[in-house]
Structure 1
Amino acid sequence: MNLHVSLIQSIDALLPQTQCGLCGHRDGCLPYANAISQGEAANKCVPGGQPVADALAELLNRAPLPAEPSVWPIQADGRPQRMKALIREDECIGCTKCINACPVDAIIGSGKLMHTVLTDLCTGCELCIPPCPVDCIDLVEDTQPLMTENAKIEEQNNLRNRYYAHIQREEKRRVDRKGPVVRAEINTELFAQFSNQIKPVQALEVVEKPAQVIVGLDSKTMLELAKLRTQIKKLEKQLSVREDANKRTLLSELHAQLNNLQA
């Protein structure tokens, strides 16, 4: 591995992998890492905030610069408030435009069927919002506790892998697609250089579990599973604040439905 590639990897490892394009590089963190290695300012990562700007300055032995400001308030860790996308499901028309826009495949659904955001994977990049023709996607604050550094690294590695898999799939579609290309041209040579060093991840056709692998679930079942998990998480959060017998019963019923679908 040459020194330039190694430097790009070191820079990319510090970026949050939100793939939001707010740095000015529409195709995500890796192109920005490449640009930084060639001299571009290292303070443009909005979701990374001042901690990432400072870490990059230290890595590159450059003078620290103020991070690009965010519209969201700053958290205790110095980064802007993490946000998550939320689809108002009763308003969703199933157009699939948000699914194609999501860089880490955090939205599932099928044509003319309701879509759901897998909140654990959502980076809050906001890229799903502009394509939505009925404006049924909101951004809400991530109420989960701040992650440890090890957890951040694990999340970043997972998001990076998902994004590379997304890029590979979209490029294959682009080659075969007729009609206009709606996104900027991807630097395929750059992505190929790095994506072949990782194990590509599957989209959502394969769901891995500790004791078994569920393969080939139809889209309607996948959608129902995602909806149940979202309802379960919502109830669990509510019950963590205040106990309610009716909600506890409903939670047990939802768990039973989830187990039946996964059986």
Structure 2
Amino acid sequence: MSIVVTGASGQLGRLTVEALLRRGVPAADIVATGRDIARVKTFAERGVVVRQADFEDPQSLAAAFAGADKLLLISTTSVDERFANHRRAIDAAVAAGVPLVAYTSMAHADTATTILASTHRATEEYLRERGVPGVLLRNSWYLENYTAQLPAAVQHGAFIGAAGEGRVSAATRADYAEAAAIVLTTEGHTGAVYELGGDEAFTLAELAATVSAVTGTPIAYTDLPAAKLAEALTGTGVPADLAHVLADADLGLSRGELFTGSRDLSRLIGRPTTSVTDAIADALR
């Protein structure tokens, strides 16, 4: 069994490789790929096969996917280039005869209306067009998207957003990675569509209240128009294009597009998902 993980130098990819190792997959049966293999050399030191996979270079993808029995296609970060990158990766998987491709998509990618969702929907449609046996891992938001903001929130006493009263089913990257590893190491998932998210959905106002309780510092949530949120994010150094995408994602959150009550994630990993309180406490430590 050869399991290929793309983006293994990234946070979700790295955690997935670790989860595969914990599940007893022999290191020699795992292929960790990345555009810069120097960033995954620590895996090579542990016996994991390391290959270069540049999504802009179809030849590198063909070599990286050769002999794969299962492929985890982790969505790339550049929104403008995402679908083109994914299309090349899917074409390479088809050419290599990969029997199963698991793709990290986005919650409700088939119906959500955000900029981010459109790129995932296009990828899902292309997987179907190419006839690839697949599994869709539709991840909601990462809890780390919020815990990364804790220093600023504590300093200024506020979270900002444009999510209104929308509820988000955020979960930790580690929980999503564990689910991916389980899908890659067990049978019966071909054709499945998993709407993955934390058991404990919350509004951003509720998140602010939880941070207040954990830190002992009063934190408020300030809801802004999307344009004002994008402007504020740009002011903190976020590139303008990305700030627009993030503000648009908050509008999707306000419409319920990042909420799932499926419990697919906790069922896959066989335990409750990491709580918001625990994730905040871990981040603060």
- Indicate whether the TM-score tops 0.5: no
Rg larger in structure: 1
Q: Which has the higher strand share?
A: 2
> What TM-score results when the alignment is normalised by the length of structure 1?
0.31
